[in-house]
Amino acid sequence: EVQLVETGGSLVQPGKSLKLTCATSGFTFSNAWMHWVRQSPEKQLEWVAQIKAKSNNYATYYAESVKGRFTISRDDSKSSVYLQMNSLKEEDTAIYYCTWILRGYWGQGVMVTVSS
Amino acid sequence: DIQMTQSPSFLSASVGDRVTINCKASQNINKYLNWYQQKLGEAPKRLIYNTNNLQTGIPSRFSGSGSGTDYTLTISSLQPEDFATYFCLQHNSLYTFGAGTKLELK
């Protein structure tokens, strides 16, 4: 059974940093292109970042809204993908989902609240 | 960047109705269009991938069509469990979601 489990969500002040983790199981993680997608309190979904596989040189891509502030990474030995979020803004408040878009698998999501 | 315009934003319908939801891309997305269903408190669930391919386990009353810039999700006969919010996602050039359609019971 494919599972994606996100952890690391929290309440954080503007300007601070936070790192999300997505632990996966049930599939060959090393071959999968992984993504982070977020959903605002207004329920709008926004693609955040993608990381490709080793065979694609771990290429990364970002939404303009997070470029330069967020970093996606992966550890194939742990079947995990990460999202390092720096210089957080109130508009980054959302549920963050880890997802394998190609095969349609999503985690349950983790809440990040940016507020003073 | 590709923009996705989803319509309608809200749809009121009855059990047994046939409903359609549309997504229009700002440029040709070569049928790289997925549809998702989301219920309150849950992650999105993929229904259709690449325009018209039904995800395993999804009932056949869901279908997708389209090409170029215009795509449609059709539910042939609404069931009580289908009242939810639906999103489209283009994955031809990076990734863009539609704004969603909330399907409510009339």
Average per-residue pLDDT in chain B?
A: 97
Q: What is the pLDDT of residue A54?
A: 97
Reported as a single tens digit per residue, the pLDDT across B77-93 is 999 999 999 999 999 99
Q: Among B32, B46, B95, which would you mutate to test the A interface (most chain A Cβ atoms within 10 Å of its Cβ)?
A: B95
Q: Among A43, A47, A109, whose Cβ lies nearest the Cβ of B94? A: A47
Q: What is the pLDDT of residue A97?
A: 98
pLDDT along chain A (116 residues), means of 10: 97 98 97 98 97 98 98 98 98 98 96 97
B49 contacts in A (CB within 8 Å)? 104
Cα–Cα–Cα angle for B51, B53, B59, nearest 5°?
120
Span B63-74, mean pLDDT? 98
Q: What is the pLDDT of residue A64?
A: 97
A50: closest chain B residue by CA: B94
Reported as a single tens digit per residue, the pLDDT across B11-66 is 999 999 999 999 999 999 999 999 999 999 999 999 999 999 999 999 999 999 99
CB of A63 closer than 8 Å to CB of A49: yes
A107 contacts in B (CB within 8 Å)? 43
Q: What is the pLDDT of residue B26?
A: 98
CA dihedral of A78, B57, B46, A2, whole degrees rounded to 10:
-10
